Amino acid sequence: MYKSKLQQLSQQRGWEIPTYDVTKEGQEHCPHFYATVTVDATLFSTPLPSSSSKKAQNDAAKLAYKYFSDHPRPSSSSPLN
């Protein structure tokens, strides 16, 4: 859900598509996943483990999406005073 929202936001702002890196830890029968997403040269990492790679990626995307929604970057066409 947040992966698609983050991709749409990135396209709207003219950024490259977000890239994800997933790390798997733990036993084969009980793995834990951590994810990092890179958006506009900014990294966002999941602080807690997830039960699946997909969930970890979505959690990282959620962090990034909420950050950029709350902290819009000024556009290059904005006048500086």
| Euclidean distance between CA atoms 36 and 22, whole angstroms | 7
Q: Which domains does the chain have, with CATH numbers?
A: 2-70 (3.30.160.20)
Please list the residues that pair with 34 across neighbouring strands.
23
Whether residue 75 is predicted with pLDDT greater than 60 in this model: the reply is: no
Angle between helices 53-70 and 2-12 (to 10 degrees): 40
pTM of the predicted protein model? 0.85
| Euclidean distance between CA atoms 35 and 46, whole angstroms | 6
Instruction: Look at strands 42-45 and 19-27 and give their pairing.
Output: unpaired
pLDDT tens digit sequence for 11-65: 999 999 999 999 999 999 999 999 999 999 999 999 999 999 999 999 999 999 9
Residue 77 confidence (pLDDT): 45
| Euclidean distance between CA atoms 81 and 60, whole angstroms | 35
